[in-house]
Amino acid sequence: MLQIYNSLTRKKETFQPLVPGKISMYVCGMTVYDYCHLGHGRVFVAFDVIARYLRAKGYDINYIRNITDIDDKIIRRAQENNEDWQLLVDRFVGAMDEDFAALGIQKPSLEPKATEYIDQIIAMVETLINNGMAYPADNGDVYYVVEKFDSYGRLSGKVLDELRSGARVDVGEAKRNPLDFALWKAAKPGEPAWDSPWGKGRPGWHIECSAMSTCCLGNTFDIHGGGPDLKFPHHENEIAQSEAATGEKYANTWMHAGPLRLNDEKMSKSLGNFFTIRDILAKHPAELVRFYLLASHYRSPMNYTETSIDEAFSGLERLYTALRGLDLSPEVVTSQFTERFNQVMDDDFNTPEALAVMYDLAREVNRMRKVNQLEQATVLAGELKQLGDVLGILQQEPETFFKGGGEQAVDAEQIEQLIACRNQARAEKNWAEADRVRDELQAMGVVLEDSREGTTWKLDR
């Protein structure tokens, strides 16, 4: 029985989709004005695994992940770069696609952009004005009336009285109450703009997701997810807008990934510890980074250090070692290991425990090898690879992994020739020559492993 922690109720709940066998899921995607950082990678790897596992359980999942392609940050960055805003957006959408593909993040069912839903956004704003939950200001802005939504704050735990004490009206805003937020923003000279009943302007950030999610999934859908910083005000405002506009419950289950820190500090450009995904991928293989992100539960805070990613490599290497040298069975196999894997994944997608099950399975593969039960070892190794596929790992050929996975420039043919020379020297009992070749290989970062079956090699990290 699948249990999911619901951020709205603050407890695990048995998951029951609105339509049996089908799941509707919306995850807030990127605002594309810069490269994705590792925290973004953490969030979208987590929801990629969730989508993969739900499909593996047999659900037909409609997974929507939006792109915010118009926003204050986008306009500001384009102005700073003296660059057309649409060209900026296209450039960073392309970079996002490259980064996500490298991390094994599969494309969602649909990836709507805010600018493709301007008509639907305007229609939702008009509905909110007509039912008294929003008002047009004299300057062309339109604001949502927070105090009219009785359950405002239930997701984030915020209390209106406390919010009032810290609220203020920024210069240029025409809101009646400091708590009110913009649904539509009047365009400033030179900014991208669309026609509306209130004059030329563009949507506020929060209304974009309300319009896109309800248009793509309906007024009520199963799961809404996102990063830890979106719970307030973004998701809180989405609930207020959507439920006031439709009169129906917005999302049944809310899921939020945990924060990622770097060396025990919040990621910050000013602190010099702000790493993009491509910064990390320039130093480490993509599969290793993904594996590292899976080693913590998606809701848990996570601290990135170079030491921790080195430890993750040891774990990934253990799994690939179990697969090495076996002709993996293409047939679908399940055993008590798959049952255990599903049990822990059914417990709010517990990937650390799922990896623990896979380590146990790898240990059993190795035990079968030692007692020369290679047929059983091969079947279990096939099962290990199948479970890896659910998590988006272990899909390389083991030898490709051990020999750098294309991440490092090595001459495999030269290495094989040197190993052949060493083996010849050993056969002739020319130990000095064998040691010399071994030292040459070590200087190239090659680790040799001698066994009864022969000599294999891998690259040292």
Residue 243 CB coordination number (10 Å): 19
Q: How far apart, in whole angstroms, are the C-alpha atoms of residue 258 and residue 304?
A: 13
Whether 216 has a binding-site annotation, put simply, is no
Average pLDDT, the chain: 91
CA 137 to chain centre: 38
pLDDT in tens, 96-129: 999 999 999 999 999 999 999 999 999 999 999 9
Residue whose tokens read 């990063």: 227
Q: Average of pLDDT values for 315-343?
A: 90
Q: Which two tokens stand for residue 146?
A: 């927070």
Is residue 329 scored above 70 in pLDDT?
A: no
**Structural domains present in the chain:** 3-257 (3.40.50.620), 261-402 (1.20.120.640), 412-459 (no CATH)
Q: Average of pLDDT values for 280-301?
A: 96
Q: Which two tokens stand for residue 112?
A: 């709507």
What element of type H or E holds 124? helix 118-130
pLDDT in tens, 375-426: 999 999 999 999 999 999 999 999 889 887 644 545 666 766 666 667 776 7
Whether 206 has a binding-site annotation, put simply, is no
Could you tell me which of 258, 8, 55, 355 has the C-alpha nearest to residue 151?
8
Q: How far apart, in whole angstroms, are the C-alpha atoms of residue 77 and residue 72?
A: 9
Parallel, antiparallel, or unpaired: how do β-strands 221-226 and 22-27 relate? parallel
Q: Average of pLDDT values for 430-458?
A: 68
Q: How confident is the model at residue 175 (pLDDT cuts 50, 70, 90)?
A: confident
Give yes or no for a cis peptide into 189 (omega within 30° of 0).
Answer: no
90 or 418, higher pLDDT: 90
Is residue 261 scored above 70 in pLDDT?
A: yes
Q: How many CA atoms lie within 13 A of 168 on its CB side?
A: 4
pLDDT at 155: 97
Q: How confident is the model at residue 434 (pLDDT cuts 50, 70, 90)?
A: low
> For 162-176, 354-368, 428-442, which range has the lowest pLDDT when averaged over its residues?
428-442
Name, of 244-253, 255-264, 278-287, the range with top average pLDDT: 244-253
18 or 170, higher pLDDT: 18
pLDDT at 262: 84
Q: Average of pLDDT values for 47-55?
A: 98
> For 130-134, 297-301, 330-334, which range has the lowest pLDDT when averaged over its residues?
330-334
Could you tell me which of 194, 216, 201 has the C-alpha nearest to residue 66?
216
Return the amino acid letter for 390. V
Q: How confident is the model at residue 291 (pLDDT cuts 50, 70, 90)?
A: very high
Is residue 453 scored above 70 in pLDDT?
A: no
448 or 212, higher pLDDT: 212
DSSP reduced 3-state for 5: strand
Residue 205 backbone phi and psi in degrees, to 5 = -65, -45
Return the amino acid letter for 280. I
207 or 331, higher pLDDT: 207
Is residue 252 scored above 80 in pLDDT?
A: yes
DSSP reduced 3-state for 407: coil
92 or 415, higher pLDDT: 92
Q: How far apart, in whole angstroms, are the C-alpha atoms of residue 21 and residue 329?
A: 29
Whether 234 has a binding-site annotation, put simply, is yes
pLDDT at 425: 66
| Distances from the Cα of 262 to the Cα of 39, 306, 310, angstroms | 10, 10, 15
Q: How far apart, in whole angstroms, are the C-alpha atoms of residue 452 and residue 325?
A: 13
Residues forming a β-bridge with 182? 143
SS3 content of the chain, % helix, strand, coil (to 5): 50, 15, 35
Q: How far apart, in whole angstroms, are the C-alpha atoms of residue 341 and residue 166?
A: 47
User: Is residue 273 within 8 Å of 266, Cβ to Cβ?
Assistant: no
- CB proximity list for 341: less than 8 A, separation 6 or greater: 354, 357, 358, 387, 390
Residue 308 CB coordination number (10 Å): 14
Torsion of the alpha carbons at 106, 74, 180 and 210, rounded to the nearest 10 = -30
DSSP reduced 3-state for 65: strand
Cα–Cα–Cα angle for 346, 347, 351, nearest 5°? 85
Q: Average of pLDDT values for 232-249?
A: 97
Percent of the chain with pLDDT over 70: 87
Q: What is the pTM of this model?
A: 0.89
Whether 421 has a binding-site annotation, put simply, is no
Whether 28 has a binding-site annotation, put simply, is yes
Cα–Cα–Cα angle for 339, 315, 37, nearest 5°? 100
Q: Which long-range contacts (CB under 8 A, 24 or more apart) does 56-61 make?
A: 56/390, 57/2, 57/342, 58/21, 59/17, 59/21, 59/22, 59/23, 60/21, 60/22, 60/23, 61/22, 61/23, 61/24, 61/25, 61/109
pLDDT at 213: 98
Q: How far apart, in whole angstroms, are the C-alpha atoms of residue 194 and residue 202?
A: 6
